[in-house]
């Protein structure tokens, strides 16, 4: 193609192509702005609805955003004269190929739909699922976002979550806090239990029903081992856990209990 042909093409087709390109850019910018505005408005409406919780609201917003972006892309292609019916057929064919290659992604999507129906957890719940423990931040189309106790954002595929055991620590009003206290052989374990009961029950955020469990767990060479198990809401788990250990130390110290020591016979195994 010589210079004359290039100039003829620009003079005949360049202006039209430039107008289409400018129109497409404007359509993309305006369309994205309208999509953000629409999804934000829909999100506020869903959040205000008393019958729709935040988990389902985030999920619906994600679906609506994806659908609107597809419509926007089809509209931009139509500006350039690409027939959307042909593109839809091409997209369907590509979808089959992509679906075969990305079966895991489709599995995550299907698992997300099932979790919306079965509702094993919702946004804000503290769960153990897919090998991750933490608070649910978002249940998306393909993955669940969890914030772990050490404040790390972890994204887990919905397929892995749905295919494994799910523990929801927020489903019930309270959960048990497991602590252990050991006393020396010279200490009466029943006296230690009697001293601990009112102290543990007085710890802030400890539930009164059920009452804390304080019993003899087992006998060891150092002395009896007590299980100290108060109940609390999962939001206060670590506060109660640490306060319980402090209460045990303070109570046993005030009672003058000796520190449990391993008997001499158990300190070193006899030589073979």
Condensed to tens digits (0 to 9), the pLDDT of residues 2-54 reads 566 555 655 666 667 777 788 888 888 888 888 888 888 877 776 675 556 66
| Assessment of whether the complete model's pTM goes beyond 0.85 | no
**Is the bond into 46 cis (omega within 30 degrees of 0)?**
no
Which of the two residues, 68 and 193, has the higher pLDDT score?
193
Q: Is 137 exposed, middle or buried (0-12, 13-18, 19+ CB in 10 A)?
A: middle
Q: What is the pLDDT of residue 29?
A: 87
Domains and CATH numbers, the chain: 7-101 (1.10.287), 120-168 (2.30.30.60), 175-255 (3.30.70.100)
Contact 27, 75 (CB under 8 A): yes
Is 56 a residue whose pLDDT tops 90?
Answer: no
Contacts of residue 120, defined as CB under 8 A and 6 or more positions apart, other chains included, come to 129, 166, 168
pLDDT tens digits for 95-151?
665 555 555 667 777 787 788 778 888 889 999 998 899 999 988 778 899 999 999
Largest CA distance in the chain: 108
Q: How many alpha carbons lie under 13 Å from residue 122 in its C-beta half-sphere?
A: 10
């Amino acid at each position: 193609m010589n210079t004359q042909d290039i100039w003829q093409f620009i003079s005949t087709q360049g202006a039209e192509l430039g107008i289409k390109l400018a129109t497409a850019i404007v359509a993309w910018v305006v369309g994205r702005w309208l999509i953000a505005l629409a999804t934000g408005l829909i999100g506020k409406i869903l959040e205000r609805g008393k019958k729709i919780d935040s988990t389902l609201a985030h999920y619906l917003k994600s679906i609506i955003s994806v659908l609107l972006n597809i419509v926007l892309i089809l509209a931009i292609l139509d500006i350039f004269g690409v027939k959307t019916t042909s593109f839809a057929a091409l997209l369907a064919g590509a979808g089959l190929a992509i679906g075969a290659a990305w079966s895991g992604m489709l599995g995550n999507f299907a698992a997300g739909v099932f979790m919306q129906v079965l509702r094993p957890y919702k946004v804000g719940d503290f769960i153990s699922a897919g090998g991750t423990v933490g608070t649910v931040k978002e249940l998306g189309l393909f993955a669940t976002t969890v914030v772990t106790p050490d404040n790390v954002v972890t994204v887990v595929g919905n397929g892995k979550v749905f295919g494994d055991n799910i523990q929801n620590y927020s489903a019930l009003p309270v959960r048990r806090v497991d602590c252990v206290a050991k006393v020396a052989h010279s200490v009466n374990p029943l006296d230690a239990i009697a001293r601990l009961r009112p102290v543990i029950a007085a710890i802030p955020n400890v539930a009164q029903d059920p009452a804390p469990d304080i019993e003899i767990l087992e006998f060891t060479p150092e002395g009896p081992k007590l299980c100290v198990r108060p109940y609390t809401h999962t939001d206060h788990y670590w506060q109660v856990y640490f306060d319980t250990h402090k209460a045990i130390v303070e109570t046993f110290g005030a009672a003058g209990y000796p520190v449990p020591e391993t008997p001499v016979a158990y300190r070193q195994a006899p030589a073979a």
